[in-house]
Amino acid sequence: MFSKIILAFFLHNLKARPSSLYHLLKGESSIYTKVYGFFYDIRRFIGIFPKLSKETYEKTIADLVKKNYLEEFENEVRITTKGLEYLDDFSLENFARIDNVKYGRMDQAFYRYLLFAIQVVSYASYHEKEYIPLENSPFYKATLKKWFHQMKQQNLLLTFVTELTDILSQLPQETSDYLARQFSGYQVYGKIYHQLSENDKYIQFFEQKEALHTFIATFEKGNYPCLALLLEKLYQKKGNTYQQTWDLFDEGQSIEEIARMKQVKAQTIESHLIHRALIDENFVVKSYPNTLFQSLKGQTIEEYIHLQFKDFPEFKEDFFSFRMMQLDLIKEIRKNG
């Protein structure tokens, strides 16, 4: 099944570098990897397989080529008709609510806090103190103990249950049931996600990711103070160098001025702005000639992806403007369907 999942990353039916996909799946943080994710509309899967070995990945790609599911073009590959038939109705869109860019770094910690809190509150409601806690980590235990005492002192334990119930009620029924079956409490023993599905382990992994990300997204949209207090360490804002750059740019500072202020190279500031362009469809920096942009309109996404900086002498050494033009051309196609 793993090979089928890897093949699904080429469903865009465009020529793509398999080596770049490997870096994306591993979670490499370079701006090129993020741009690659944008090009092929798979950014949300960055870092989905952080432990994937290069040997396993390259063997999978070679096997897909050998079976004629992928066709090779120098350093790139493209899915074949046979590959499309092999995938049948399997698609990454089957897991449309996975957003590993937004939630991948915190979903497991979120999950552990949630399961532990449910267990503690459940046993407390029955005045039962003798049970095996789900967590042995001193950090999680200390956090939960502090949170529980605050909830108890303010008579908010029932409010926590109400918040949890409200979030679950907003999820698709199958997602709500799926997560609820993992909860443990007084005389209730939750299952691990591998026990809830007969699917392949990789599909089970994707099912769990999607359920968790759906829950977290619903939590973030609402007002749930008890849960928010429990999870506050996950949401503590740290100094965000990207945001600092964006704020200064919005104030009218030039790239060179921001670089001097932050004592970094101009290329670093440019990469911050490119990152913003990847996640904000309304962010535009038209530092490129509009006449050139207009002359390139009407081409395909694949043609835009394969534009070469060296073929545009008008940019001289200004790669940033070239990249912004390239992104805007792709955005316009996607915006217009």
Q: List 16's β-bridge partners, or say none.
A: 77
Domain ranges of the chain: 2-96, 107-234, 241-335
Query: Tokens representing 37?
Result: 């994710």
Through-space distance between the first and last CA atoms of the chain, rounded to whole angstroms: 31
Strands (E), 282-336: none
The answer to whether residues 316 and 289 touch, using CB atoms and an 8 Å cutoff, is no
**pTM for this structure?**
0.87
Residues with Cβ < 8 Å from 282, sequence gap 6 or more? none
Q: With cut-offs at 50, 70 and 90, classify the pLDDT of residue 156.
A: confident
Backbone angles phi, psi at 99, to 5 degrees: -140, 85
Asked whether residue 237 carries a pLDDT value surpassing 70, the answer given is no
Would you state the pLDDT for residue 196? 86
The answer to whether residues 304 and 330 touch, using CB atoms and an 8 Å cutoff, is yes
The answer to whether residues 100 and 47 touch, using CB atoms and an 8 Å cutoff, is yes
Backbone angles phi, psi at 88, to 5 degrees: 55, -120
CA distance 195 to 292: 56
Strands (E), 32-181: 70-73, 76-79
- What CATH topology corresponds to 2-96? Arc Repressor Mutant, subunit A (1.10.10)
Residues with Cβ < 8 Å from 210, sequence gap 6 or more? 95, 96, 97, 98, 175
Would you state the pLDDT for residue 133? 92
Would you state the pLDDT for residue 232? 87
Report pLDDT digits (tens) over 265-290: 999 999 999 999 998 888 888 888 89
Report pLDDT digits (tens) over 62-106: 999 999 999 999 899 999 999 999 999 899 999 999 999 889 989
